Structure 1
Amino acid sequence: MLVILDRDGVINRYEGEYICSPDDWDPLPGSIEAIARLCGAGHRIAVATNQSGIARGLYNDATLAAMHDRLCKLVNEAGGRIDAIQYCPHHPDDGCDCRKPATGLLRAIQLELGLDSLSNAIMVGDSDKDLEAGFRAGCGTLGLVRTGNGLNTERHLSASQSPYDDRLIVADDLSALVDRILKRP
């Protein structure tokens, strides 16, 4: 099964400020090990992340690549692997088809990994944009973590009529969500 992870707020700390260098990229406790546990159970891992800091001139593609190299190195050292990373470098006002909640990043992952559909995939995020992208792309399961923007997202979903209820798993963090994924039949 494929598990697609948002990055900021799911894998690494996110306090609302742009992460502009590899030194600022700080994994959340247990997130790297959680990814390795998924891999150990036979799951493939992809990352789909909006990175408008590039369009805003806060960092460039090379800096983002260095952050992702650090992520992959840490995951490899823990015994896991990231199979694909797709990112949207555009500004929210650009109207691209890749910025979540659009499905372009997820479709690019699907194409890169040679999958017919994402119906067996799990999209994990901390924002409604992540969940909506996964829902619209046909992911069979949506995971919401309470880290990053997750608590606010959970409150928003609780106060509204959520279309995700029958597909949604909510957990405190990525490690707790992985525990639930690995216990599923």
Structure 2
Amino acid sequence: MTNKVLFLDRDGVVNVDHGYLYEPEKFEFIDGVFAGCKKFQQAGFQIIVITNQSGIGRGYYTEQDFANLSSWMIEQFAKNGIKILDVFYCPHHPEKANPPYLQHCDCRKPAPGMLLNAQQQHQVNMAKSIMVGDKGSDMKAAVNAGVGRKFLVTSGQDLAESDRTLADKVFSNLEQLADFVC
């Protein structure tokens, strides 16, 4: 396992979390996300997005809608000189979803399934990798998957103190984190 990866939660880290987002015209990148990702990329990190997407399971949008938005998002990163290696998502919810998405799974954060799938598919060295999220469930998934470092970004929102204690450190945005790490 040779690759070090910057794992990014999507909503609240990459983009403003407006809830159940699937339309490019409503996708609002958070300030500093491109600059921060560039710094991580220059420091030898590959970038993978890891995101819970229960809106699929709830019937708010389809997996194709999500795929279309992900392709658009990857294009926007590419236009800014950043390569997104992959996007992993969980469409499930244990209580608030329609069949077949109504289930307990090993991929919905805080479970480590998406991270472990990324590790297997992309030969990720988890000890040298970083998880960036905006919730305690992101930090718990990182711990459960053996990710070396885990950071929270506030992106202008309040974080629960219990979430803060799970992170190695808390930053305002991804660019500030990149300045600290890189």
Q: TM-score, normalised by structure 1?
A: 0.86
Q: Which runs of 5+ in 1 are unaligned?
A: none
User: How many percent of aligned residue pairs carry the same amino acid?
Assistant: 34
SS at match of 2:159: helix
State the distance in 2 between where 1:126 and 1:79 align: 24
- Partner in structure 1 of residue 152 of structure 2: 144
Q: How does 1:123-134 map to 2 (within 5 A)?
A: 123-134=131-142
Q: Which residue of 49, 62, 83 corresponds with 1:81?
A: 83
Corresponding position of 1:5: 8
Residue 105 of structure 1 and its aligned partner are, at CA, apart by: 0.4
Alignment root-mean-square deviation, CA: 1.6
Residue 136 of structure 1: how far off its partner (Å): 1.1
Between the aligned partners of 1:89 and 1:130, the Cα distance in structure 2 is 16
What secondary structure sits across from 1:123 in the alignment? strand
TM-score (norm 2): 0.88
Q: In the superposition, relative to structure 1, how do residues 71 and 20 fare at CA in structure 2: closer, same or farther (>3 Å)?
A: closer
Paired letter, 1:45? I
Q: Is 2:130 the counterpart of 1:122?
A: yes
For 2:163 and 2:133, locate their aligned partners in 1 and report how far apart those are by CA, in whole Å.
13
Within 5 Å, which residues of 2 pair with 1:35-184?
35-93=37-95, 94-115=103-124, 117-147=125-155, 151-153=158-160, 155-157=161-163, 162=165, 164=166, 168-182=168-182
SS at match of 1:54: helix
Large movers: runs of 4+ above 2 Å:
155-158
Q: Which runs of 5+ in 2 are unaligned?
A: 96-102
